[in-house]
Amino acid sequence: MQTELLLAEADALLARGRAHNAARLLTPFVGREPENVGGWQRMARARLDLGDPAEALVAAQAAWHLDPYGTESLHWLSAAHSHLGDHAEAIAAAAAACREDPGNPRLHNRLAQAQLAAGLPTDAAEGLRCVVDMAGWDADLMVTYGMALFAIGRPLSAREAVGRALAIDFGHAGARSALHAFAAAMSTAVDAASLALAADDYAESLRIHPGRPPLRRPGAVRSATGYVARMTLSWFLAVLAGAGLLDAAGLLTVPSSLYVALLCAAGTAGCVFALTDQSRSRA
């Protein structure tokens, strides 16, 4: 029961974009229970959210060795390999997951993402063409399909697919980001030749080359900022309380200007933490 509660707490932290907190929670747990597959899977996700694919791969491989046919382990193994530019391994792991559970759109989405990262948009679009007919209710899948369509030079179909994602989830951040990227790419397209060039440039932007530093997700950045702000707020409040106690006991004379400075600093840190926490809740 305690293990289930801890994993549920990790899931909640990850869902709110607090990957740093989730990693801190999971690190001693997987140390105590190295045979727990779920702990390693969540650790892989947390490390990817923090922009650390090398450590994510270590965690994903630990989960995969414990559960070599588990689709969740294969999913995170594929994702970690993709972020490191190990595309053959990423595609193989995602394809294996799809074979284990062929009706799961999330796994087909991972396979298509691995193919896009490898510079294979035609394979991604073709692979998703039949899947979206069966799982058109999955917004993430529709966004990836739209990205693949744009990368092979079909911008109208790409916008339609992303539009379907927004119809499913109007606030879908990935869909809105994709539309912005489409608009930027199309700004240079004036004829068939320039459209083909824009599609090629877009496809290239989706590729992950070995050794290229991975882009941090917005949620991970917000999580790190919020964590620093929270810790700063805690320190300022502790100093403020300590100064007040020493002043009250007559052991130290604290000038009023110092109280004002500490209160202002604590208030600023509190505002930053509140804003980042609100942003995570909306994400």
pLDDT at 219: 40
Q: Which residue reads 């980042």 in tokens?
A: 276
Q: Residue 43 corresponds to which tokens in the numbers above?
A: 């650790």
pLDDT of residue 55 exceeding 70: yes
pLDDT at 262: 57
What are φ and ψ of residue 260, in 5° steps? -65, -45
pLDDT at 231: 52
pLDDT at 220: 37
pLDDT class of 88 with cuts at 50, 70, 90: very high
Residue 148 and residue 128 in contact, taking contact as beta carbons nearer than 8 Å: yes
pLDDT at 68: 94
Share of the chain above pLDDT 90, in %: 68
| Cα 124 from chain centroid (whole Å) | 20
Which of 19-23, 25-29, 253-257 is predicted with the least confidence, judged by mean pLDDT?
253-257
Q: Residue 217 in 3-state DSSP?
A: coil
pLDDT at 281: 38
**CA-CA distance, 214 to 51, in Å (whole number)?**
6
Q: Residue 22 corresponds to which tokens in the numbers above?
A: 């989730």
pLDDT of residue 238 exceeding 90: no
pLDDT at 181: 95
**CA-CA distance, 141 to 128, in Å (whole number)?**
8
Q: DSSP code of 50?
A: T
**CA-CA distance, 206 to 117, in Å (whole number)?**
6
Q: What is the mean pLDDT of the chain?
A: 84
CATH T-level assignment (fold) for domain 1-102: 1.25.40
What is the value of pTM for the model shown? 0.73
pLDDT class of 242 with cuts at 50, 70, 90: low
**More confident of the two residues 246 and 21:** 21
pLDDT of residue 124 exceeding 90: yes
Query: pLDDT tens for residues 164-220?
Result: 999 999 999 999 999 999 999 999 888 899 999 999 999 999 999 886 654 444 443
pLDDT of residue 86 exceeding 80: yes
Closest to 108 in 3D by CA, of 135, 81, 80: 135
Closest to 268 in 3D by CA, of 257, 260, 278: 260
Closest to 42 in 3D by CA, of 68, 81, 79, 2: 79
Query: pLDDT tens for residues 100-122?
Result: 999 999 999 999 999 999 999 99
pLDDT of residue 63 exceeding 90: yes
**CA-CA distance, 213 to 99, in Å (whole number)?**
31
Query: pLDDT tens for residues 245-279?
Result: 666 666 667 677 765 665 676 566 556 555 544 44
Q: DSSP code of 281?
A: H
